Structure 1
Amino acid sequence: MSSHHIVKENQEPALIVLSTDALDSENLGQLLEWSPTIITDDYHIDFLLAQGIKVDVVITEQETHYNQEQIKRVPLKEKALVDALEYLINQQYKAVNIACDSLSVDLLRYASVINIVVFAAGKRMVFVQQSYEKWKAKGERIYVDETLLKSLVGLRKVTDNVFETEQDGFFYLGFNTDEFVAVGERL
């Protein structure tokens, strides 16, 4: 990090790693650029440590000693994902990036408390309410549960829950629910 970047505690999104396949090394490197708080579980900590990545918190059932100092252990109570989110919320984090294998329904109950971006199955997903607008190049794929759509502009349906941008420019999604909706794009 260069000297002109001053980052306050808990201002940068934390990173929960629950899959080593969710991100390629370039995308992982971008997420690590700002030295986020990194949380993982018993199944992924060895991979991260072997890559030389500093882990801050491990959600664990074990008393394992790691070759890295100052790793905080948080006992596994429910699921690693839920326990990690609870930890971050208690520590007053405002945002988190999550690398995992699939989108968990558990995320919806936290979307109103912490800004969540999920990287899973080759997609980047955000949780939004009411509407979503973003600039994309022509032919980009957008993934959203079409039963939650009230309106859309700039997209054409490809198949169930998969849309494609019609041209370079902004697309718009309006939702028929007040709940949070996951919107995805390819990595």
Structure 2
Amino acid sequence: MSSHHIVREKQEPALLIANGESCDPELLGQLLEWSPFVAVLDNAIWRVLDLGFKVDAWLGDFDDNPDFELVRAQQYPLEIVHTPDQNKTDLDKGIEFLIERGFPAVNIVWATGRRADHTITNMTNIIRYKEQIKIVMLDDYSKITPLNGSFKKWYAKGTPISLIPVGQVDGLQTEGLKYNLHDESLTLGYRTGSSNEAAEDGFVRIRYAKGDLLLMECWD
């Protein structure tokens, strides 16, 4: 258990730490407080050791032969999981590990920033797991969630909301946005639903017929 609070295993989101740009320590601390299980990916472990917080599992292909005993000494007890599949990203492996363990939800940090190829791959690959686990990817400026056909949530007026298709999304309809969509299509690279916002205090509703869609709440 990695939280200072009493949280029940698999009733709160797990926390998955990738190896992109670090987020604000306050955000990380808030997530750690309520995470029953924390997993870290490959070389991010060294940054975690520097920060001094406890994790439960360390996943990686470990091609650089890290000092396992050094890590174990600072993180005991620690589950070390070898994930050598080169056809999957580290983030894919981490999400699939949590799905196999039965977690219903995961918060992901340190998955954006730094390398642009890693960032766009991480943000778009999460759609493949939308039916298996609830995913929220966070950094200092955004909160990204893959939708699964329909969505409803209460927002304060003016909350920034962007709808970004991964490929093409058809039959998209929204309610409660400043610029609503009415049975329309979005296509990455041609037309997206960026920089929209909640029109009033109240529920925003989104549904679509086909495709993969990311909901992004972004701020400056």
- Bin of the TM-score, shorter chain as denominator length: 0.7 to 0.9
Q: CA RMSD in A?
A: 2.5
Amino acid paired to 1:48: V
Equivalence for 2:81: 74
**Distance verdict in 2 for CA 1:86–1:180, change over 3 Å:** same
Could you tell me which of 122, 145, 164 is aligned with 2:164? 145
Structure with more strand by fraction: 1
Contact 2:175-2:205 at 8 Å conserved across structures? yes
In 2: Cα distance, 1:35 partner to 1:88 partner: 13
Could you tell me which of 78, 81, 93 is aligned with 1:83? 93
Instruction: Confirm whether residue 41 of structure 1 aligns to residue 41 of structure 2.
Output: yes
Amino acid paired to 1:185: E
How is 1:169-180 mapped onto 2 (pairs within 5 angstroms)?
A: 169-177=202-210
Count of residue pairs the alignment pairs up? 183
Question: Secondary structure of 1:145's match?
Answer: strand
Question: Secondary structure of 1:104's match?
Answer: helix
Contact 1:49-1:55 at 8 Å conserved across structures? no
Unpaired runs of at least 5, structure 2? 113-118, 180-190
TM-score (norm. length: structure 2): 0.72
Instruction: Confirm whether residue 167 of structure 1 aligns to residue 200 of structure 2.
Output: yes
Identity of aligned residues (%): 30
Contact 1:23-1:122 at 8 Å conserved across structures? no
Contact 1:138-1:165 at 8 Å conserved across structures? yes
- Deviation of the 1:120 alpha carbon: 4.3
Instruction: Confirm whether residue 116 of structure 1 aligns to residue 138 of structure 2.
Output: no
Contact 1:22-1:119 at 8 Å conserved across structures? no
Equivalence for 2:148: 129
Contact 1:22-1:122 at 8 Å conserved across structures? no
**Distance verdict in 2 for CA 1:22–1:127, change over 3 Å:** farther
In 2: Cα distance, 1:64 partner to 1:82 partner: 24
In 2: Cα distance, 1:70 partner to 1:20 partner: 25
Instruction: Confirm whether residue 156 of structure 1 aligns to residue 178 of structure 2.
Output: yes
Equivalence for 1:93: 103
In 2: Cα distance, 1:23 partner to 1:176 partner: 35
Contact 2:163-2:192 at 8 Å conserved across structures? no
Which stretch of the first structure deviates more once superposed, 159-168 or 26-35?
Answer: 159-168
Amino acid paired to 1:153: E
In 2: Cα distance, 1:12 partner to 1:134 partner: 19
**Distance verdict in 2 for CA 1:165–1:88, change over 3 Å:** same
Question: Secondary structure of 1:48's match?
Answer: helix
- Deviation of the 1:121 alpha carbon: 6.8
Amino acid paired to 1:12: E
**Distance verdict in 2 for CA 1:108–1:31, change over 3 Å:** same
TM-superposition CA deviations, 1:51-96 (whole Å, max 9, x none) = 1111221122134231322222211323211111221122111111
TM-score (norm. length: structure 1): 0.83
4+ residue runs over 6 A deviation: none
Structure with more helix by fraction: 2
